[in-house]
Amino acid sequence: MVLRVVAHLSEDEEGGPKEIAVELDDFTLLFFETVIAELKAKLGIDSSAPFDYLEYEEDGYPCNVKTDEEIQSLSESPPEDPLHIWLKSSRHHHAISDDFILNSADFIMKQELATGQFGTVYLAEDIRHERLVAVKSIIANLEMAKMQQEVEILSELRDCPQIVQFFGAIFEDDHIKIILEYMDGLSLDKYEPLPIDVHGVASVAIINALSFLWSKSIIHRDIKPSNFLVNSNGDVKLADFGVSRTLEFSNAFTGVGTAIYLPPERIKGGAYSVSSDVWSLGLSLTEMALGSALWAAQNNSFNIVSDFSHHIIENLSKIFEEIGSIDFDLQALISGCLKPIPNDRLAFYDLKGTKFVKKYSFVNKKVVADFILSKQSVNAGFV
């Protein structure tokens, strides 16, 4: 089988033509490296040029290819028209500005807030600015690349008020510490179920954050209520970009994220894009309304997660009925997110236009503040 492509040279490299039609045969398509070598040769690029992945568009979204499995999957059902692909390099990623490099002497650790597979979060005092901050710490030699990318992504997202604020990072010999805004109400999953007005304001904030994220061609890949942080001022913000990836760096077959929030295509190991975040958003909004996770899986084994996916799909009508009894517009939003086929889901640019989001876009965040403060007073020492 032959895959017909039009290869584009997107970087400012000297060589032959900036684009060229190429036919890739079965043997070449066995290995990603042979495809890259063939395209470099056709474009007249030196073999040592730092192009190490390919990008193409599918349903309006950029997707990338960087492994043997991905190139083989792409060639299994070749399109009738030539596929336009761009040669890309991961070495052109943005480095963190010196403005974000902080000194550990300026911070006093006070107590542990949370711990997980990607590190430990502490409450700390920022001496220079006389404020409390959250410090996410991880052993550098274990997850250096992951943490470096999280720092770089956070530095790109500082202009969004619905994303937890990034102050900078401390790079030590054995640890990387990310300094973040401290949200004194912690995460929204601690308050479920949410009253519908609180749910509405929180949903608008998270959808605004995700829309900003997606506009930067970044997928979060771990959307869930425990990553929606809240404070006593009523602010709701998206957090935890430990497994987020710019689309140009995302391995389209990587199974990362919290298993029970993954969409069907990711559970099956298929390619995914922004639409996978939309599914996870739908599950999160459902959980926030009903007050509990939709599936009490005890582990992340394939059978458990696969069963969960079938459970959700088989019970969508019941789920939508339960949500409809709470709010019909919320039901419409969630049903638009929870479509088993990715292309059937609401596109990310349509989320803000839904009736539920419009209804709560101008509601004062004081309703969230009052709710959080009331919960804190009832559960003294809760946060």
Q: Which residues are catalytic?
A: 222
AA letter at 26: D
CA nearest neighbour of 227 among 205, 196, 198: 205
Element (H, E) at 108: strand 107-116
Q: Taking the CB of residue 158, how many other CB atoms lie within 10 A of it?
A: 12
How far apart, in whole angstroms, are the C-alpha atoms of residue 345 and residue 99?
40
CA nearest neighbour of 132 among 140, 142, 122, 141: 122
Per-residue b or e along 82-113, where b marks 16 or more CB atoms closer than 10 Å to that residue's CB: ebebbbbeeeeeeebeeebebeeeebeeeeeb
Strand order in the sheet with 166-171: 107-116, 119-126, 131-139, 175-181, 166-171
In sequence order, the β-bridge partners of residue 230 are 236
How far apart, in whole angstroms, are the C-alpha atoms of residue 199 and residue 285?
8
Tell me the chain's radius of gyration from C-alpha atoms.
Answer: 22
Q: Taking the CB of residue 309, how many other CB atoms lie within 10 A of it?
A: 20
Residue 148 DSSP symbol: H
Angle CA 226–249–101, to nearest 5: 70
AA letter at 314: E
CA nearest neighbour of 277 among 244, 240, 320, 239: 244
